[in-house]
Amino acid sequence: MRFASLGSGSEGNALLVESVDGACTTRVLIDCGFGLRDVERRLRAAGCEPAVLDAILVTHEHADHIGGVFRLARAHRIPVHLTHGTLRAAGALLPERFEALDLLRLFDVHDPFDCAGLRIEPVAVPHDAREPVQYVIDDGRRRLGVLTDLGQGTPHVVQAFSRLDALVLECNHDAQMLADNPRYPAMLKQRIAGPWGHLDNLEAARILAAIDASRLRSVVAAHLSRHNNRPELARQALVSADRVDPALIRVADQDRGIDWIAV
């Protein structure tokens, strides 16, 4: 298994996952917060034609994660997996953007499911969305966890994201930078920093320190705020957790994402 970020941050998110089993290759996209032409360009830059995607997995209905999902799915006939709550919250998008309702695949947040040979384990998370999830993807040999867009690490999250081989972990903001940012009103700061908002660097490091990291070989800091974080601060926080070789910690970028990483 390997994965690549096509872009990560408040302006758009998409993560490409590929698994090869003999002659069979499976490719799934987690979220798509980019416009159709933009995500097609980003996919091709990663060496993936959009039409070969087996599925799109949606985490929640916020525009930076779902904004391009339905147009991409309709253009290339790609099944879309999402929770019932996310579908209801995104319902206003459907009449305009997604007539192909036969491509929808609804799942219960508590039930793992098979997707083109991959075992997908949805994980409920605390975030200000209708029924948000994050994912653990298991191809029978390696386990990849994707954990962004949550306000805090719960015991359920710690358990679900233990014993992974690779982890994409939100490091949205530095708490002090957010508090000092004059561009953000107080209510927005409270939302971001609250228990249903986004992980700051130290909370991300706390989660990393709490999970069983005995198999962990790669950590990617993701969803960094352009205005309230810096890559070196996120990296420093994750290094402090002392759970993985610092050389194996990387940071995904909003514009360039991150190149392929083998799990």
What whole-number percentage of the chain has pLDDT above 90?
94
Q: Could you write out the DSSP letters of every residue in 62-98?
A: -HHHHTTHHHHHHHHT--EEEEHHHHHHTGGGHHHH-
From the number of C-beta atoms within 10 Å of its C-beta (0-12, 13-18, 19+), residue 75 rates as middle
- Indicate if the pLDDT at residue 96 is higher than 70: no
Domain boundaries, the chain: 2-262
What pLDDT shows up at residue 94?
A: 61
Four-way CATH pick for 2-262: 1.20.120.1770, 3.60.21.10, 3.40.50.300, 3.60.15.10: 3.60.15.10
| Res 99: pLDDT | 59
pLDDT grade, residue 123 (50/70/90)?
very high
Report which DSSP code applies to 15: E
Rounded to the nearest 5 percent, the helix, strand and coil shares of the chain are 30, 30, 40
What was the pLDDT predicted at 217?
96
pLDDT over 70 percentage in the chain: 97
Nearest of 194, 243, 190 to residue 214 by alpha carbon: 243
Instruction: Tell me the pLDDT of the chain averaged across its residues.
Output: 95
How many other C-beta atoms lie within 10 A of the C-beta of residue 130? Answer: 15
* DSSP sequence for 90-108: TGGGHHHH---GGGEEEE-
pLDDT of residue 101: 72
Distance CA 59, CA 148 (A): 9
The per-residue pLDDT for 77 is 94
Q: Which of 65, 248, 60, 253 is nearest to 166 (CA)?
A: 248
Task: Tell me the mean pLDDT in the region 150-169.
Answer: 98
pLDDT band for 92, please (50, 70, 90 cuts).
Answer: low
pLDDT (tens digit per residue) in 166-224: 999 999 999 999 999 999 999 999 999 999 999 999 999 999 999 999 999 999 999 99
